[in-house]
Amino acid sequence: MVKFRLFPRGEALVSVIWMLFLVIPMIGLFPFDTPHKQFVGVLLAIFALGYRNTLFRGDYFLYWLMLQFLIAGFYSVDLGYIYLFMFPAWQLGFSTLRKQLFSLMLACQISLMLLSLVFGVLLKANFDKNQVVLTVIFAVFTVLAPLAGREFYKQQEQRNQLYQANQRMESIIKDEERNRIARELHDSLGQSLSVITIKLELAQKLLDKKPESVSAELQEIEGISRSTLKTVREIVSDIRRRSISEELIEINQALIAANIIFTTENEELASLLTSPQQTEFSSVLRESITNIIRHSKASYCSVHFLKKGNQLEITIADNGIGAKNLVQGNGLLGIKERMVRLGGTMVLNDKEGLLLDFTIPLKEDEDD
């Protein structure tokens, strides 16, 4: 059973606000004491229903859209107000219609609006010059609304596609990392454990026949075991390493969930840091962004990278309340300790939000 929804998920508040604008003409018709007012009131109710149904962009989207255009045209000719055209105009802009069909519907809208302007506004004797000018300006804005809405919808879809592509890429990276770890474990530990098993079986056989040879076999097993343990530690150490790019992916997801716009600049410069440096500074980034989400009340956050000589400068900025609620307990002590281990510096500025400036000395990767 399909659950009934008055408005599409995530669009309820905006839809209600738009619906409230329909209350204005309804109030003008009150108390509905004439057949004409009652008829126009019924048309407005049908118009509201049509607007609500177009929000779901279902199979009958075009029919509901045309119905709105016709009612808006009648309302304009009858009463001289064309602002009802704005409702279907925005819905047309945010539709997924093909280009040809979109152009046809836009042409229908423009034609109906021109007829409405001529017969409902320009020929109305009770409209003064200023009212006519304002109506014409609003009409031009309404004509442009579908084009603006279509462009905005296209950009929104591109952002969604980019986000989904990043999600898929992240999943692929994780799968590749799991496969790499599995291969390393199989190639390194599998061979070593097989040799240890064979050596133990041999030692067990020699225990009865040549006890003096068992000691040598056990020493070899000990050597292999120590070598295997070292390999395990190297694999674990490598797993614990985290790149700044990986951290930024998770930061972006966290900020999206917190409704904070996130941008980066010169992100590729992060690769200048060595693997241990990136792992250490990833924790600094994580803690800094956590503070922004929890305490800043910001709507925008950015991370900028800049190479200056033999140093990398990273700036984290937001447009929140600044350092008003910031105390040493908000992770700052841990950030400072990590920056000391990195041999870098941190400067905190309170200017139109919080500004954190980090400086890290560049050096050659220890693995090179």
Tell me which DSSP letter residue 190 carries: I
Lookup: tokens for 347: 């400067």
pLDDT score of 361: 94
What gap in Å lies between CA 143 and CA 90, rounded to an integer?
10
CATH 2.40.10.220 for the 244-361 domain, yes or no:
no
Task: Give the CATH fold of the 179-240 domain.
Answer: 1.20.5
The three-class DSSP label of residue 244 is helix
26 exposed, middle or buried (CB, 10 Å; 0-12, 13-18, 19+)?
middle
d(CA 349, CA 356): 6
pLDDT at residue 316, rounded to an integer: 94
Distance, CA of 276 to CA of 241 (rounded, Å): 7
pLDDT digits (tens, 9 = 90+) for 182-197: 776 666 677 777 777 8
pLDDT in tens, 99-141: 888 999 999 999 988 888 777 766 664 666 777 777 788 888 8
Strands 311-318 and 300-308: antiparallel
Which residues of the chain carry a pLDDT beneath 70?
Answer: 1-2, 121-128, 167, 170, 177, 184-188, 234-240, 324-330, 365-368
Give pTM, 2 decimals: 0.55
Domain with CATH 3.30.565.10 in the chain: 244-361
Which residues of the chain form CATH 1.20.5? 179-240
